[in-house]
Chains A and B, each alone.
Chain A
Amino acid sequence: MQFRYYIIKRIFFQILVVFGVITLAFLVTKAIPQDPVAILLGPYAMRNPNLVREVTHTWKLDRPLWEQYLYYLQNIVTGNWGRSIYTRGPVIEDLVARFPATLELSLFAFAIAMAIAIPSGILSAVYRDTPLDHLARVISIAGISAPGFWWGIMFLYVFYYLLGIFPGSGRLGTNFVAPPHVTGMYLIDSVLANRIDIFWDALKHILLPAFTLGIGSCGMASRLTRSAMLEVLRKDYIKTARMKGLPERVVIIKHALRNCLLAPVTWMAFLFGSMLEGVVFIEVIFRWDGMGQYVVNAIFESDYPALMAAVLVIAIIYSTGSLVADLLYHVLDPRVTVY
């Protein structure tokens, strides 16, 4: 009973957060000094007072602030997210087209990061203070310390230019066409359409950006796993298992592993969130056609409808992600409430 109560509270709180985010986005666009009407119409059309009046009236810009806010909320709920000034198309379409790209990249990056971090953390703990441990530690810390976008550039230079292993940009090579749209994620769609060649190409394209995106989280997760494992290895039940005469491998895999995984999992929400912060830069560097690049583009084109919508979506993904993670954490350890 209490568990359900917690979930409801948490979801309700999340709705509050999303609401706050929506309001924040609204206020920010109100704070921008440029005139949105001028940006839409351009200098020539601005000279036509009728046009100006029409646009201002349609966008309700001549109404008091609170009315604009309500109009804004109404639009969001009904799905009228405006038309992009840059692409001249409905923002919703642009976002729907790009959302899977960002999602695919983030999920893949996170999966790779965890797949590397957790084993490396465990190995670091088991072989503590050996050269392996030190090497892992150096790599982790370097991963955390340098900015993601720099790593991206370095990787591009080494793996694309010098070694020619990975392609430099985009989601697919120029001689490939996207697989039929099911989820929008090329890795999945290509398998579903039984086009393994597209799958390989998409895989080659996603590896470098995903790895770059995941580095920071990978480093942190590795350290966390290591300390968690060290903690667990000190425990009495491990000593018991050893005294029973079990081979070391069994001790670690059967007894220690399960218990040490709790710590990194609890941090996954935070790790995913902090990783998402870098997605904008990664998308720009690798020319990944996702929402991050859309946001940056919108900023420089002063494309306010697109900007607001994209930021909103990113914020919603972000907070929903942490919601899911919090709930997951609560499932694993009901004693804890995250806030």
Chain B
Amino acid sequence: MREWHLTWLMIRKSKIAMIAAGILGSVIIIALLAPWIVPYDPTAITPGREFLPPDNSHLLGTDNLGRDVLSRTLMGLRASVFASMFVVALSSMVGIPVGGVSGYLGGKIDTLLMRITDIVMGFPGITLALLLAYAMGRGIFSAALALGVVGWTSSARIIRSVVLSEKQRDYVMAAKVLGKNNFQILFGEVLPNCLYPIIVDVMLRMGTTIVALAGLSFVGVGVQPPQPDLGVAVSEGRQFIFEDPLLSIIPGVLILIIVLSYNLLGDRLRDALDPNLRRELVGGSVE
């Protein structure tokens, strides 16, 4: 409990982290509520009302087919946010056990798993994801799956190094004495203590995943038009960049803000979890 309290205090100390957390929180809420708060159907084409500048009825104007940009952006946001959460969850579910088992058991299994990890890492991620996403049929689900398959390596590496250092700690020895088997120790004792690095890693990866997903959609392998998505929006807007640059600018700026928030928050969180800094905080409050 105290740990969480300390973490919270450290986050509060940083205005930037608070702002970032606030932005992310709002983004997630908006993404959740999107289908209910969109003023128009995002795919509704209204001929004759294309390229309208922002006005009262269309807060962000309309695009090349007369669709309301605000609605498309909101639904696109939703798609991007949830798809990237899926990807990060997937890659974590693969990466964390791999890294944990590798670090904990060590020896030949460790070497083998790390070799496999290096081989997968040796492949340029986006290219592989492109290939896979196409192989599985274009669409947001395949894209998400592809990115998940490709992206587990970084979390595996991080978890492994954390587990390696945790392995030496006393509570592991105590659990062994109590007779718990390896599986119980790893998943019941060690990994819960790795929660913080995992959270930081997840935050930072959310950022890169959103960009990667948007990239795949931009190229045409992710979300398929007319379904809205931030990457697709940039791609569609690109054709009309000279007539109506807003179409590409808006989704891009959104991606920028979201990724920025993830990066900043993850960064501050990482500082917050630094044991040295925490000790300072503890020292301060005890005085």
Contact = CB atoms under 8 A, between A and B. Distances in A.
Contacts of A296: 130, 219
A142 B256 contact: yes
A153 interface: yes
A153 B234 contact: yes
Contacts of A32: 134-135
Contacts of A295: 127, 130
- Interface of chain B, main secondary structure: helix
B126 A280 contact: yes
A339 B127 contact: no
Interface string A242-277: 000000000000000000000000000000010011
Contacts of A86: none
Contacts of B214: 147, 149-150
Interface residues of A, number: 48
Interface string A264-305: 000000000100111011001100000000011001100000
Interface stretch (B54-62, B242-250, B272-280): B242-250
Contacts, number: 127
Interface string A26-64: 001101110000000000000000000000000000000
A156 B231 CA distance: 17
Nearest to A156: B241
Chain B residues touching A, range: 35 or more
B124 A322 contact: no
B255 A147 contact: yes
B125 interface: yes
Given A146-B255, A311-B131, A281 B122 contact: no
Contacts of A311: 127-128, 131
B221 interface: yes
B263 interface: yes
Contacts of A193: none
B119 interface: yes
Interface in A1-47: 13-14, 16-18, 20-21, 24-25, 28-29, 31-33
Interface in A101-155: 141-142, 144-150, 153-154
Interface of B: 114-115, 118-120, 122-128, 130-132, 134-137, 207, 211, 214-215, 218-221, 231, 234, 237-238, 241-242, 245, 248-249, 252-253, 255-256, 259-260, 263-264
Interface of A: 13-14, 16-18, 20-21, 24-25, 28-29, 31-33, 141-142, 144-150, 153-154, 156-157, 161, 273, 276-278, 280-281, 284-285, 295-296, 299-300, 307, 311, 314-315, 318-319, 322, 339
